């Protein structure tokens, strides 16, 4: 047993979709969540910038005495995994892309998989490589969606928001044209606007939540190391953001569907 917290990070609020899955699957686990809201979006940055920010996030969480790291950010996973593993030393580092690719491969019937992701994730080719490693015949249509994270971070997630609906329709059009039967929400912000994406894609296409997919891998890794927490107690929850703490608590509560107590949020970095 290991009751130290898990370190989780994202460029902002999107990684809370992984937190939601973690608290449902393993409510006993403690965690420290870092949202780098001041530097979001990561998806429009260069690989070098993403690596520098990701390395700093790992160093920061390592300094908080965590037992493992969940990189709840596709953009960091796609562009900085080696750098983060080097910084993490002996701590296990679990990313979102391999678990999401594995979930997509297990769900698809036609082998035609779509990915919606940030520009930097699509440019890295990480999803194409991860899917092809598991299913050589599969085809991947990956669409960069640069307008989505800024809309979500500004709290614009309503299905009735015409600008959001138009952006989502535009990004989904190439996936419909390619005839995909499965779409990976390859950015942890996108499950927050799942209904808008569902509306654009229709009812028959399977949607994969990359943050949720990664939680199974994380818990398996902890179990293999005999490092799960104390199941008889609720875990401790702590949130740290690099921008305004009040705003993080308010928007984050809406995204999580559960109150983030303002006294558990601290601005740092």
Interface residues toward ligand DGL, by CB under 6 A:
10-11, 14, 40-43, 73-75, 118, 121, 149, 187-189
- Residue among 111 and 244 whose Cβ is closer to ligand DGL: 244
Q: How far is the CB of 96 from ligand DGL (least distance, A)?
A: 7
Q: How far is the CB of 188 from ligand DGL (least distance, A)?
A: 4
Q: How far is the CB of 59 from ligand DGL (least distance, A)?
A: 19
- Residue among 75 and 157 whose Cβ is closer to ligand DGL: 75
- Residue among 126 and 249 whose Cβ is closer to ligand DGL: 126
Q: How far is the CB of 241 from ligand DGL (least distance, A)?
A: 13
Tokens of 52: 């520098």
Is the peptide bond prior to 41 cis by the omega test (within 30 degrees of 0)?
A: yes
- Residue among 126 and 229 whose Cβ is closer to ligand DGL: 126
The verdict on whether 145 is a catalytic residue reads: no
Tokens of 232: 């008889």
Catalytic residue among 73, 145, 172, 241: 73
Q: How far is the CB of 193 from ligand DGL (least distance, A)?
A: 12
Instruction: Give me the torsion for CA of 185, 187, 189, 192, rounded to 10°.
Output: 0
69 pairs with which residues across the strands? 7, 93
Burial 12-39 (b: 16+ CB within 10 A, else e): bbbbbbbbbbbbeebeebbbbbbbbbeb
142 pairs with which residues across the strands? 115
Q: Which among 79, 85, 61 is positioned nearest to 9, based on CA atoms?
A: 61
- Distance between CA atoms of residues 249 and 86, nearest Å: 32
Query: Cβ-closest residue to ligand DGL?
Result: 43
Which SS3 state, helix, strand or coil, does residue 184 take? strand
- Residue among 42 and 248 whose Cβ is closer to ligand DGL: 42
Which SS3 state, helix, strand or coil, does residue 140 take? strand
Catalytic residues: 73, 187
């Amino acid at each position: 047993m290991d009751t130290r917290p898990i370190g989780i990070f994202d460029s902002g609020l999107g990684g809370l979709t992984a937190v939601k899955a973690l608290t449902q699957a393993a409510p006993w686990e403690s965690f420290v969540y870092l949202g780098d809201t001041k530097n979001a979006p990561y998806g429009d940055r260069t690989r070098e910038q993403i690596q520098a920010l990701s390395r700093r996030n790992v160093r920061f969480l390592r300094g908080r005495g965590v037992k493992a790291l969940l990189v709840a950010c596709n953009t960091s996973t796609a562009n900085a995994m080696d750098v983060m593993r080097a910084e993490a030393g002996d701590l296990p580092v679990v990313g979102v892309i391999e678990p999401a690719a594995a979930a997509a491969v297990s769900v698809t019937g036609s082998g035609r998989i779509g990915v919606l992701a940030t520009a930097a994730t699509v440019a890295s080719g990480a999803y194409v490589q991860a899917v092809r490693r598991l299913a050589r015949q599969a085809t991947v249509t990956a669409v960069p969606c640069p307008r989505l994270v800024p809309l979500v971070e500004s709290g614009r997630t309503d299905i009735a928001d015409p600008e959001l609906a138009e952006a989502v329709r535009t990004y989904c059009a190439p996936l419909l044209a390619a005839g995909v039967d499965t779409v990976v929400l390859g950015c942890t912000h996108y499950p927050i606007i799942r209904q808008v994406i569902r509306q654009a894609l229709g009812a028959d296409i399977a949607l994969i939540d990359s943050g949720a997919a990664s939680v199974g891998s994380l818990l398996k890794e902890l179990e293999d190391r005999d490092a799960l927490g104390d199941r008889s107690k609720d875990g401790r929850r702590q949130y740290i953001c690099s921008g305004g703490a009040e705003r993080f608590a308010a928007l984050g509560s809406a995204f999580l569907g559960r109150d983030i107590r303002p006294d558990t949020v601290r601005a740092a970095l």
